[in-house]
């Protein structure tokens, strides 16, 4: 069973020109990203009280006229088991006729493919926190600062790139790629990301947007910026 944060949010700021119902799953996260704003409340804190998918659906039905999309976030929503994801999203699909968007870090490539192919998710918004296509072993310290976990090989960046390319290849107007303007990343990092997204869009004849979102410090996360990504020749 997937547990959901018992404070659902109606938001106008997440997706341009579309009010959304934002649902946070209490499923943890395999990353510890630099100054993550959700870590204390949604990842590390124990929640005695929580919602089930039934509670989410009941709320969505009551507020049906106030939002265009249902957005699932976390933590990392796709850390939930595939069986639970399929079960909850199938029930939701049958009772709430709104497009479903999932925010994800992109590591769970197989789940992204499965949920898309089953028609349970309309769009994925995937984090491209670094120019993963340019990383080498020399950049592992930078990746650790950004993602909060040690990299021993390129398997995680490669899985994220798989997910990014997949959501571009199958896009029907709901997918999106975004970065955070971390203070230790130079502008070249984001221009390289944008170039990669544009190349993939051209490859598949798609128009998936790429956004760079403002960075907001989490005052409870005391980590000093230490690296600058300037790109590779």
SS3 of 168, please?
Answer: helix
Measuring CA to CA, which residue among 140, 180, 207 is closest to residue 35? Answer: 180
The number of folded domains in the chain is: 1
Measuring CA to CA, which residue among 66, 6, 34, 94 is closest to residue 221? Answer: 34
pTM for the model: 0.91
CA atoms within 13 A on the CB side of 58: 6
Asked if residue 37 belongs to a domain, the reply is yes
Asked if residue 222 belongs to a domain, the reply is no
Burial class (CB in 10 A: 0-12, 13-18, 19+), 177: buried
Which range, of 14-18, 63-67, 70-74, averages the lowest pLDDT? 14-18
- Order of all β-strands in the sheet with 176-180: 9-15, 18-24, 69-73, 100-104, 123-127, 176-180, 210-213
Asked if residue 231 belongs to a domain, the reply is no
Reported confidence tier of residue 37, pLDDT bands at 50, 70, 90 = confident
Q: Which residue has 């999203």 as its token pair? A: 89
Question: What are 86's two structure tokens?
Answer: 């399929």
Q: Which residue has 């600062």 as its token pair? A: 145
Q: What CATH number has the domain bearing residue 191?
A: 3.20.20.70
174-226 pLDDT per residue, tens: 999 999 999 999 999 999 999 999 999 999 999 999 999 888 776 665 444 43
Asked if residue 93 belongs to a domain, the reply is yes
121-176 pLDDT per residue, tens: 999 999 999 999 999 999 999 999 999 998 889 999 999 999 999 999 999 999 99
Element (H, E) at 20: strand 18-24
Q: Range of 49's domain?
A: 9-213
């Amino acid at each position: 069973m997937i547990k959901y944060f018992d404070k659902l949010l109606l938001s106008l700021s997440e997706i341009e020109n579309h009010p959304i119902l934002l649902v946070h799953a209490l499923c943890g996260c395999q990353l510890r990203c630099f100054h993550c704003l959700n870590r204390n409340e949604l990842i590390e804190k124990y929640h005695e009280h929580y919602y089930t998918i039934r509670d989410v659906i009941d709320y969505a039905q009551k507020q049906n006229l106030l939002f265009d999309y249902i957005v699932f976030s976390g933590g990392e929503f796709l850390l939930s088991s595939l069986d639970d994801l399929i079960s909850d999203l199938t029930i939701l699909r049958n009772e709430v006729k709104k497009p479903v968007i999932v925010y994800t870090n992109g590591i769970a490539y197989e789940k992204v493919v499965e949920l898309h192919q089953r028609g349970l998710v309309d769009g994925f918004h995937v984090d491209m926190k670094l120019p993963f296509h340019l990383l080498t072993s020399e950049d592992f310290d930078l990746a650790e600062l950004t993602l909060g976990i040690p990299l021993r090989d390129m398997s995680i960046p490669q899985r994220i790139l798989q997910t990014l390319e997949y959501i571009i290849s199958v896009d029907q107007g709901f997918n999106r790629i975004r970065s955070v303007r971390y203070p230790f990343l130079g502008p070249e990092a984001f221009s390289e990301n944008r170039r990669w997204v544009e190349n993939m869009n051209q490859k598949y004849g798609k128009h998936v947007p790429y956004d760079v979102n403002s960075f907001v410090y989490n005052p409870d996360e005391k980590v000093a910026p230490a690296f600058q990504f300037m790109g590779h020749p």
